[in-house]
Structure 1
Amino acid sequence: MSLYHELCQRSADPRHPFLIGPGESLSLADMAQASSQCEGVAPGDVVALVGDFDASGIRNLLTLVDRRAIIMPLVAANHAQHEYCFASGHVDVVMAEGKLVRRQERQTAHPLLDRLRSRGHAGLILFSSGSTGMPKAIVHDFDKFLARFATPRPAWTTLGFLLFDHVGGLNTLFHMLYNDGLVVRPTARTVSAVLEDIRRHDVQLLPTTPTFLRMLVHSGLLNQAALPSLRLVTYGTELMDQSTLSAVANLLPQVDFRQTYGMSELGILRVRTRKRDELWIQIGGEGVKSRVRDGELHIRAENRMLGYLNAPSPFDAEGWFNTKDLVEIDGPWLRIVGRADSVINVGGLKVLPAEVESAALSFPGVRQAKAKGASNPLTGMHVELLCQPGEGVELSIDALRRHLGEVLPPHARPLRIRVGSVPTGHRFKQV
């Protein structure tokens, strides 16, 4: 059975929209018109699909799954990396603006792609964030990727904040499709537009990032009275700091807050949060196991990726994946405190950038913070800090330095502090 017909059978009314947005809506009944847009795509073709969660992008995504293509979702905002993605993903066809715009001769084969073709399965190629080195091309069997949505679950009216090229965005879309839910496509991913979309469409669930939640807190526009429909905020894709979580939880006392956990290599995993305003979680779900080794979180998941197209496999002989996330443990609960590959060694003492950033974010007026290590002839490395103030805020570096001196140990205190804009990528996470 095709994915389209399976979704129609699960829907109470295929004519009812599952997506609404600026000037458009899309129902499963509308999908009957989709096939002509993918003419010329053959089973097993690697298709770079440049789009968004709009009618054209979703029509083509579902049609390509049914055509058993290997799909690489991309967004226009990341245009500078497209040629790298095409080469790393062995792309055969490029689709943009709802139509095939380029076909190129297949130069080389790859065992992972050939495995999908021999199975007759659709595939999915996603890219890592590239925060440490060039992005890795991650290959999933789309049939296995979709299997996680087979169990019926509640579906709330959800703002589609996470993007078309992100595993979290795809997770939102297919959760809604499989559970007869509704996705609201945002007018824009700005504070004012998101708040207005939540009000206009009675959005119940906002999946977003800690960076965007900090933007909401510092906007001064966030309060429970203005968002009566909102029931749940989920946050992930980067580390959350306690001061931001506490602030947003206080501003929205009737809203539940849940941390999500996932990686492009593993998909979005089931997470249980201890308290709405705490960072302690449990990770599990069907076919998922976790363990901690030397302070680092390891995950074994049945619905994991097949592997990388441009890097060695990261799985050990038993299928464990080292996430490189550093964690603290409190009985059955764990809290993510940083990344093993970003630890700063200051005179033999380890500093987590997240520890410094969290301390900076607890200082009034700091909207975003980014800590990094720099070479030092005496200690090997020292800490440097970039802080972005809230709009209209005059940030005193001397006062900030005194604050950090009170809350951080000597080796973790930044030697250099700058005020400026903290870079944020197209996925609304720090880069």
Structure 2
Amino acid sequence: MDGFGSAPALYWRGRTHGYDAFLDLIAQWEARLADLGIGPGSVCAFCGDYSPNVIALVFALMKARAVLVPLTPAIEPEIPRFLDISGAEHLLRFDENDSWNHGRLTPSARPALFSRLDESGTPGLVVFTSGSTGIPKGILHDCDRVMRKFVQPRAGWSTVLFLLMDHFGGFNTLLGTFAYGGVGVCPESRSPQAVCAAIAAARATLLPTTPTFLNLLSASRAYVGHDLSSLKLITYGTEMMAEATLQAVRVMFPQAELKQTYGLSESGVLRSKSDANDSLWVKIGGPGFETKVVDDILWVRSEANMLGYLNVESPFDAEGWYCTGDHVEVKGEYLRFLGRKSEIISVGGQKVFPSEVESVLLEAENVVEAAVYAIPHPLLGKAVAARITLNTPEDPDALFRRLRDHCKARLQKYKVPMRVQIVEADAQLSQRFKKTRPLDGESS
């Protein structure tokens, strides 16, 4: 970063900060951390969104060889539990104006896994994920191992920092942006209007995002009122992409390359290459990563594997392989993701992947978003149901008949939803702009 001089590094609130000014801000945070008693091995949680101070703090903490615990206001109710799991000793909070305050914490215990970082003298990163039980798991990474993939020089991008930093994909994007001399573009919020405004104002070239947000962007038509011609690459991941959404994005951004990404909080973000702009087939891997498919399930082994979970047993086998739970089809070097093993609906013993039904529903007129899930059935065990978000209001009974006919013409009978519920768009979104599906059997 020191070699990029005064080149633009960060766009925030209508102002561009150069790398020289950004490095000065990092140095200021190094001095502050020393005054606060935050040094090697200190477990420091910080809560905020992307801003000059927050991003500078990230690099200052890594230079101080501390353990980083990034948090965001979106997960405020979970923060006390996350602080406890991580054994956080410090908490820095940032407001919307980039002002901050510091508090000392008294953890109940220091996680034993931190001894690995103490031995290596390297900075750590803790991110959280939820398992099938809903119990959050604290994932510990060695930051040096995470950063190895960024050593080889590459072209820098003016990147919209859309993916939240408290998730591995967002942290990976943050590191990649500055490692290659790119510009981190901070949107005012993650609404379609705000993201489009940030792209236009900063002349952003890269938008890493989710299929759900792209679907929302298409429905909102916020892109119509902004000059988004600077956008050259859109990467999408973290969930399944519907064919209908992919085609809509091609129409919205004909000048942009579309690239599917794949990553895991446990094993890092793999290099990827989409077969074509209009294809959901993707090749994944790259230096430091290995993949294999066993019984149609993807397994990954990585040099950047996490050190382990802080509060549950390690998921890796004896040879370091991790079962992702993702069902895939294989075509030579390329894979097509079908859905998570945990999401499969068994209808009378026959498998239904929710993403397949959702893709068909999104092709129907007036449907903005669709989330498919299982409901109990007295004879089949399970049946398919769907929550639908509409562009304009429609009679529920007429909608149900229309969607049933639409699906019957495109799907086998057991895949056709037996129940349809109309919901608002917010009910379909998680805090990370991913699709949320009701729990198995949840009443609608």
TM-score tier after normalising by the smaller chain length: over 0.9
Report the Cα distance in structure 2 between the residues aligned to 1:131 and 1:358, rounded to whole angstroms. Answer: 24
The aligned counterpart of 1:33 is 28
1:65 deviation in Å?
Answer: 1.0
Instruction: Within 5 Å, give how 1:173-184 maps onto structure 2.
Output: 173-184=174-185
The aligned counterpart of 1:92 is 89
Moved more, 91-100 or 373-382: 91-100
Instruction: Within 5 Å, give how 1:219-368 maps onto structure 2.
Output: 219-222=220-223, 226-368=227-369
The aligned counterpart of 1:400 is 403
Report the Cα distance in structure 2 between the residues aligned to 1:304 and 1:414, rounded to whole angstroms. Answer: 39
Extract unaligned runs of 5+ from structure 1: 1-6
Q: Does 1:12 align with 2:13?
A: no
Deviations 1:353-382 (A, max 9, x none): 112211111112211111111222211111
1:222 deviation in Å?
Answer: 3.5
1:259 deviation in Å?
Answer: 0.4
1:130 deviation in Å?
Answer: 5.1
Report the Cα distance in structure 2 between the residues aligned to 1:355 and 1:268, rounded to whole angstroms. Answer: 25
Confirm or deny: 8 A CA contact 1:25 1:55 kept in the other structure: no
Confirm or deny: 8 A CA contact 1:328 1:335 kept in the other structure: yes
1:105 deviation in Å?
Answer: 2.9
Report the Cα distance in structure 1 between the residues aligned to 2:248 and 2:274, rounded to whole angstroms. Answer: 17
Report the Cα distance in structure 1 between the residues aligned to 2:385 and 2:303, rounded to whole angstroms. Answer: 40
Secondary structure of the residue aligned to 2:82 is helix
Moved more, 176-185 or 233-242: 176-185
1:23 deviation in Å?
Answer: 4.8
1:157 deviation in Å?
Answer: 1.2
One-letter identity of the residue aligned with 2:13:
P
Report the Cα distance in structure 1 between the residues aligned to 2:224 and 2:253, rounded to whole angstroms. Answer: 6
Report the Cα distance in structure 2 between the residues aligned to 1:111 and 1:50, rounded to whole angstroms. Answer: 24
1:278 deviation in Å?
Answer: 0.6
Confirm or deny: 8 A CA contact 2:117 2:123 kept in the other structure: yes
1:223 deviation in Å?
Answer: 5.8
1:337 deviation in Å?
Answer: 0.7
* Distance change >3 Å, CA 257–CA 224, structure 1 → 2: farther
1:334 deviation in Å?
Answer: 0.8
One-letter identity of the residue aligned with 1:413:
V
* Distance change >3 Å, CA 158–CA 391, structure 1 → 2: farther
Secondary structure of the residue aligned to 1:244 is helix
Deviations 1:7-40 (A, max 9, x none): 31xx230x43311111554422332222243222
1:252 deviation in Å?
Answer: 1.9
1:331 deviation in Å?
Answer: 2.0
One-letter identity of the residue aligned with 1:145:
V
* Distance change >3 Å, CA 118–CA 52, structure 1 → 2: same
One-letter identity of the residue aligned with 1:141:
D
Q: TM-score w.r.t. structure 1 length?
A: 0.93
Of 423, 426, 429, the match for 2:431: 426
One-letter identity of the residue aligned with 1:69:
A
Q: TM-score w.r.t. structure 2 length?
A: 0.90
Confirm or deny: 8 A CA contact 2:196 2:226 kept in the other structure: no
Deviations 1:230-268 (A, max 9, x none): 111111111101110011112322211000111111111
1:221 deviation in Å?
Answer: 4.0
One-letter identity of the residue aligned with 2:68:
I
Extract unaligned runs of 5+ from structure 2: 437-444
The aligned counterpart of 1:112 is 113
Report the Cα distance in structure 2 between the residues aligned to 1:44 and 1:100, rounded to whole angstroms. Answer: 21
> Over aligned residue pairs, what C-alpha RMSD do you find?
1.9
Report the Cα distance in structure 1 between the residues aligned to 2:188 and 2:105, rounded to whole angstroms. Answer: 35
Confirm or deny: 8 A CA contact 2:26 2:57 kept in the other structure: no
Confirm or deny: 8 A CA contact 1:37 1:99 kept in the other structure: no
Secondary structure of the residue aligned to 2:409 is helix
The aligned counterpart of 1:45 is 42
Moved more, 22-31 or 374-383: 22-31
Report the Cα distance in structure 1 between the residues aligned to 2:266 and 2:71, rounded to whole angstroms. Answer: 17
* Distance change >3 Å, CA 289–CA 224, structure 1 → 2: farther
Matched length:
422
Report the Cα distance in structure 2 between the residues aligned to 1:24 and 1:241, rounded to whole angstroms. Answer: 36
Of 74, 77, 81, the match for 2:74: 77
1:394 deviation in Å?
Answer: 6.6
Secondary structure of the residue aligned to 1:253 is coil
Moved more, 218-227 or 232-241: 218-227
The aligned counterpart of 2:439 is none
Moved more, 332-341 or 396-405: 396-405
Moved more, 27-36 or 287-296: 27-36
Confirm or deny: 8 A CA contact 1:122 1:143 kept in the other structure: yes
Report the Cα distance in structure 2 between the residues aligned to 1:225 and 1:17, rounded to whole angstroms. Answer: 22
